[in-house]
Amino acid sequence: MKITVAGTGYVGLVTGVCLAEIGNKVTCYDIDEQKVQKMRQGIVPIYEPGLEELMKKNIAEERLFFTTDAKTAYESADVIYIAVGTPENEDGSANLTYVEEAALAISHYVKKDTIVVIKSTVPVGTNDRIQALINEHKLPGIEITVVSNPEFLREGSAVYDMFHGDRIVIGANDERAASIIAEINKPFGIPIIQTDIRSAEMIKYAANAFLATKISFINEIANICEKVGANIDDVAYGIGQDKRIGPHFLKAGIGYGGSCFPKDTKALMQIAGNVHYQFDLLESVIKVNNKQQLLLYTKAKEIFSSLRGKRVAVLGLAFKPNTDDIREAASLVLIQKLLNEQAEVTVYDPVAMENAKSVLGDSVRYARSAISALAGQEVVFIVTEWDEIKDIPLSTYVDEMKEPIIFDGRNCYDLKEVEKYPITYISVGRRNII
């Protein structure tokens, strides 16, 4: 199959590389010249474990190509995936400009029957609208059929997920197009669920909203645990053993972030609102998360009357481990609060420093390692549970900081271990060690 993938971000590039790996000839198209230049040389512009090896291999085996030329990309493709961004509008709705631009370019350049697969997360009804837009602008006499194929990969394990995901969802109103897309996906060896287009679109939003709900739920329980003297880690384990609940996504912390949960939950609120449905549960999930992202700051303010001039370190900037993505990261919310209070902030992240620099500029100091970030600090905030951060021996805090005060937003340390050291330790949903 000759496949084009439009958009080479976290989803598009992984999709393109993995479709090449299973034997397709894939052209990745992006409007970002610099990005495409890099990828042509085998450089992956994002941090995603395992991606670079696979990308280089498929370039060398001449199954993977990169272009900024829309004509080359679209003209003779059998199947075109749209994987461009759908960021949040100011009112919380999904911004579909990039999807529409891609669809218009496809209508303009495609000269033969083609299937357009929408991988971007788009509100229910969008695939139908894009089909209508394409029908209006395409050449007469050819068929361009839109199929919905939402993506469920997780940043940080995206390549693994492409080959080991739980399901592939294909939403189509055209049986033939659906079976061609199912055939393309067969080598991944993942169960395929076929639905109508609108159900496929809804599956994506419902899945993300449900996961966000689990996170906000456990965070609320954690906040109560603190007040009643229970331990959230034991409580989460205890409820997770119930097969009806399951053990996943029950880790208390300082809320969800990233490029998906925050924007997709808000977009689903809009989708519901557009049909005059008040989604009370999801509204609370979002509200709880906004509160939870401020938890460490709130706790710090309970201890210090002022943070002015305090030397603080923030360990972990990415919204979760194993990615360089800092979009909607809890770290940014915390750092902004600390800067507003005129604290002296030093930050460290194993891979997200460059992205952080583009947002934080010179308002903070950038440390070269976790250890050097700790040196001489009065307070440390643990925000992202990278292994490198979880593995810092407790003795290191004692050695590097005068009288260590740790606010741990990810419960990285065992309370009994912490008690062996002269450390003030405040975590989430567990007793404080003061």
> Where on the chain is the footprint of ligand NAD (CB under 6 A)?
6-12, 29-32, 35, 83-86, 98, 101-102, 120-121, 151, 153, 155, 259-260
353, 368 in Cβ contact below 8 A? Answer: no
Tell me the sheet residues that pair with 171.
148, 195
> Is 250 marked as binding a ligand?
yes
Residue 74 C-beta: closest distance to ligand NAD, Å:
10
The residue behind tokens 């989604």 is 279
Is the Cβ of residue 160 or residue 237 nearer to ligand NAD in the bound state?
A: 160
Instruction: Determine phi and psi for 202, rounding to 5 degrees.
Output: -70, -35
| Partners of 82 in beta bridges | 6, 118
- Select from 72, 115, 120 the least CA-distant residue to 98: 120
Q: 12 burial class (0-12, 13-18, 19+ CB within 10 angstroms)?
A: buried
Q: Is 154 annotated as a binding residue?
A: yes
Active-site residue identified among 18, 225, 260, 412: 260
CA angle, 158 then 14 then 52, to 5°: 90
Residue 209 labeled ligand binder: no
Output b/e per residue, 306-323; b: 16+ Cβ within 10 A.
ebeebbbbbbbbbbbbbb
Laid out side by side, the sheet with 114-118 consists of 64-67, 25-29, 2-6, 79-82, 114-118, 144-148, 168-171, 192-195
Please give the Cα distance from 69 to 277 (Å, whole number): 43
Q: Are 122 and 147 in contact (CB under 8 A)?
A: no
Amino acid at 303: I
Q: Toward ligand NAD, which CB reaches closer, 108 or 176? A: 108
Residue whose CB is less far from ligand NAD, 110 or 153: 153
CB of 381 to ligand NAD, least distance (A): 25
Given the complex with ligand NAD, which of 27 and 411 has the nearer CB atom? 27
Nearest distance, CB of residue 130 and ligand NAD, angstroms: 13
Q: Which is nearer to ligand NAD, 88 or 233 (CB)?
A: 88
User: Is 263 among the annotated ligand-binding positions?
Assistant: yes
Query: Is 251 part of any known ligand binding site?
Result: yes
Whichever of 231 and 384 has its CB closer to ligand NAD, that residue is 384
Residue type, 373: A
- Tell me how far, at minimum, the Cβ of 177 lies from ligand NAD, in Å: 20
How distant is the alpha carbon of residue 191 from its chain centre?
23
- CB distance 66 to 19 below 8 Å: no
CB of 308 vs ligand NAD, minimal distance in Å: 37
Could you give the CA distance from residue 428 to residue 434 in angstroms, rounded to a whole number?
Answer: 14
Query: Would the annotation count 320 as a binding residue?
Result: yes
**Rounded to 10 degrees, what is the CA torsion of 409, 412, 415, 421?**
-100
Q: Which residue is nearest to ligand NAD (CB)?
A: 9
**35 labeled binding residue:** yes
Question: Cβ 232 to ligand NAD, closest distance in Å?
Answer: 26
260 catalytically annotated? yes
Annotated binding site for NAD(+): 30, 35, 86, 121, 155, 263, 327
Question: Binding site residues, as ranges?
Answer: 30, 35, 86, 121, 152-155, 204, 249-253, 257, 263, 320, 327
Q: Which residues are catalytic?
A: 260
